[in-house]
Each structure stands twice: as structure tokens, then as C-alpha cells.
Amino acid sequence: MSAEKPARRRDSARSKERLLQAAAELLAERGFERTTVRDIGERAGVDQALIARYFGGKTQLYIAALHAEMGDQAPQDLLHPGRVLDLLDRVQQRGPGPVFQAAVQRPRDAAVQNAAREELQRRLVDPLRERFAAQGLDRPRLRAELATAAFLGVLLGRSAGAFDSLAAADPEELVPLVEQLFGP
């Protein structure tokens, strides 16, 4: 009589969640081009073939990870109290994520590029554009894009350590200075 191994029960919801989490972490650390499905599967502790099964492929997993990060939550604009501090803290803890990287790197995959660009617009540019338009400022989109680009420069320069004082500054000390950049 041979002893059969008990069948391992699969938890597809848990596997999908682990893949999303692993993808989000690795994409933030390495970017899209340097992250492999093998790396994602290993980090998630699941078979990398499940990426194709659950998401369709690496590109679709990337897009799912972008959407999962914010969900259906409407983003606040950069001038909303606490928003700048939240983003400074998030980047300090996890590094610049895929949405921020989209502003400085152009992925070869057009779907990835478009998804990251759309999220950048949705999360940062559009809410600020709406605020500027409501204030009656001229060229609200251009103003929002300039403010977003300046803020992304602060985040990236800080995380890269390119500027000593900026990298060493307490996030709470930076908030009023960054907000002054956005003022009309």
C-alpha cells in the first residue's frame, strides 16, 4: 500500500494577492524592465505560471498592481492637507514606485507606459488641475504638470541622495517648502 500525499488545496484568492504584493514590491524596487515573472513568483511563493493564469502576463499584472495600490479611492490633490507628507513618507519607506518611475523612465512596453502615465495623471496631475481650474487660474493643466514634475523631482532627488540637505531633511520640514512651490 502506498501512502499518497494529501492534495494541497489551492487558494486562488490568496495566490493572486501574493502575486500582486510581490509585483508591487519588485516593480517599485527594480522597475518593469528589470523585474521578471520568475522573481515575482519566487517572492510570492507561488508558481510563476499563475501570473499568466490569473492576470494574462507580466504587463497585465503590472497594470493590476497599479490599480490595486489605490483601488477606487479618489486621490487627493497635492495641496490637500497631509498629502505631500503622506507621499514623502511613502517614498522614504518604499522608494519611488512605478507611477513615479513612469515620469522619468519610458518602458519599452507601450501598455505599461500608457498604464503608468494614466495613473500618474489620475493620481497627481488631474486632482491638482481640478483645484487650479476651480481657483480660476490660467492654464490649470500646465500648472498641474509643472507642480507634479517639481514634486517628483523632489521625491527622486531625495531618494537618490543627489542633494545632501534635501535627503537629510525631515519630511515635516519639507511640507511647507514644497507647498510653496505650488502656490499661485
Q: Specify if 51 maps to a domain.
A: yes
Question: Per the domain annotation, does 1 fall within a domain?
Answer: no
Kindly report the pTM of this predicted structure: 0.74
Whether 115 and 170 map to the same domain: the answer is yes
pLDDT score for 30: 82
Structural domain boundaries enclosing 20? 11-70
**91 in any annotated domain:** yes
What's the pLDDT at 161? 80
Determine, yes or no, domain membership for 110: yes
**Domain check: are 176 and 124 in the same one?**
yes
Give the chain's domain count.
2
Indicate which CATH number applies to the domain containing 52. Answer: 1.10.10.60
CB 27 within 8 A of CB 97: yes
Quick: pLDDT tens for 12-63.
889 999 999 999 888 878 878 888 999 999 999 999 999 999 999 888 888 8
Do 128 and 73 meet the contact criterion of CB atoms below 8 Å apart? no
Q: 109-163: per-residue pLDDT in tens?
A: 788 788 888 888 988 999 999 999 999 999 999 999 999 999 988 988 888 888 9
Q: Does the residue 95 lie in any domain?
A: yes
54 in the same domain as 41: yes
Q: Which three cell numbers mark 13? A: 484568492
What are the C-alpha distances in Å from 76 to residues 67, 71, 174?
16, 13, 19
